[in-house]
Amino acid sequence: MTETDARAEIIAAYRALEAKGLNRGASGNVSLRCGEYLLITPTAVAFDAITPEMIVRMRIDDASGDWQGPKPPSSEWRFHRGILATRPDINAVVHTHAPFCTILAIARKPIPAIHYMIAAFGGADIPLADYARYGSEDLAKHVVAAMQSRNGCLMANHGMVAGGHDLTRTLWLVDELEALAHQYYHALAIGGGHMLSDAQIEETARAFSGYGVGARPETAA
Ligand code: 13P
């Protein structure tokens, strides 16, 4: 993919998140691997004001924060860079304040195996990354740690992150994670529900490998 195409994909994804009610205004951010670089949305620019020229370029192997572009990168560039640097199978990362993910993150409730679709995230739960101030090095450490074994996590009192092989897959994961959060929130409201076992989630993961939703290269273990 050319850098021009990658910039256009990021803009389309950022707008799609707003249109689907998964993000609001200038909150949330999107990044995409482009060779040795990551391309990321600029800080504090809303979905209706963003243009391809505003997308910021940073080196994945450079933790210093150097950037190229007309505007500074998302304040969350540290965890975007950290995930792309440590998960070669992930090429796109999305962070949003999706409503039901954020409600569970405020209640500090990781999502257990309430539904077989959780298997698409690489295991039997969606972990909760510890709280640290937005944009901080500590927050990046917590999020990158949570994303070592999963393709999505909640962020305490903040929101959610998902990462996949490409942006189409990652947007799908964001939508699925919000659906799981929505289901869990309502299951809690009627008493909590029944959890699937690790064996049942592993069985689902094996079945997914021969089915559309799971037949993707990112391989959280
Ligand atoms: P940016 O505008 O810097 O991307 O920050 C938005 C946000 O959601 C911080 O967590």
Separation between Cα atoms, residue 100 and residue 184, nearest integer Å: 9
Query: Rg of the Cα trace of the chain?
Result: 17
Q: Is the distance from the beta carbon of residue 176 to the nearest atom of ligand 1 less than 6 Å?
A: no
What's the number of CA atoms in the CB half-sphere (13 Å) around residue 20? 17
Q: Considering the chain, what is the average pLDDT of its residues? A: 95
Separation between Cα atoms, residue 77 and residue 118, nearest integer Å: 26
Share of residues in the chain with pLDDT > 70 (%): 96
Q: In which domain, by residue range, is 81 found?
A: 3-220
What's the pLDDT score for residue 84? 98
Residue 77 pLDDT more than 80? Answer: yes
**CATH number of residue 32's parent domain:** 3.40.225.10
Question: Mean pLDDT across the stretch 105-128?
Answer: 98
Provide the 10 A C-beta neighbour count for residue 171: 21
* DSSP assignment string, 95-138: EE--HHHHHHHHTT--B-SSSGGGGGGTSS-B-EEPP--TT-HH
What's the pLDDT score for residue 221? 47
What's the pLDDT score for residue 216? 60
Over residues 79-89, the pLDDT tens digits come to: 999 999 999 99
Q: Is the distance from the beta carbon of residue 43 to the nearest atom of ligand 1 less than 6 Å?
A: yes
Pick the atom of ligand 1 nearest to 75's CA.
3
Work out whether strand 56-59 and strand 29-34 pair parallel, antiparallel, or are unpaired: unpaired
Q: CB within 8 A of 186, min separation 6: which ones?
A: none
Tally of domains in the chain: 1
Over residues 188-208, the pLDDT tens digits come to: 999 998 999 999 999 999 999
Question: Mean pLDDT across the stretch 171-187?
Answer: 98
What's the pLDDT score for residue 209? 85
Could you give the residue ranges of the DSSP H alpha helices within the chain? 3-19, 77-86, 99-106, 137-146, 167-189, 198-208
Of the listed 3, 36, 76, 178, which one is catalytic?
76
User: Pocket of ligand 1, candidates 58, 74, 77: which has the most ligand atoms within 8 Å of its Cβ, to mutate?
Assistant: 74
Question: Mean pLDDT across the stretch 111-136?
Answer: 98
Residue 118 CA to ligand 1 center (angstroms) comes to 26
Backbone torsions φ then ψ of 154, nearest 5 degrees: -90, 160
Look at the block and give the residue holding tokens 């256009």.
8
Residue 160 pLDDT more than 70? Answer: yes
Which pLDDT band holds residue 214 (cuts at 50, 70, 90)?
Answer: low
Residue 217 pLDDT more than 80? Answer: no
Q: Is the distance from the beta carbon of residue 136 to the nearest atom of ligand 1 less than 6 Å?
A: no
Separation between Cα atoms, residue 53 and residue 60, nearest integer Å: 20
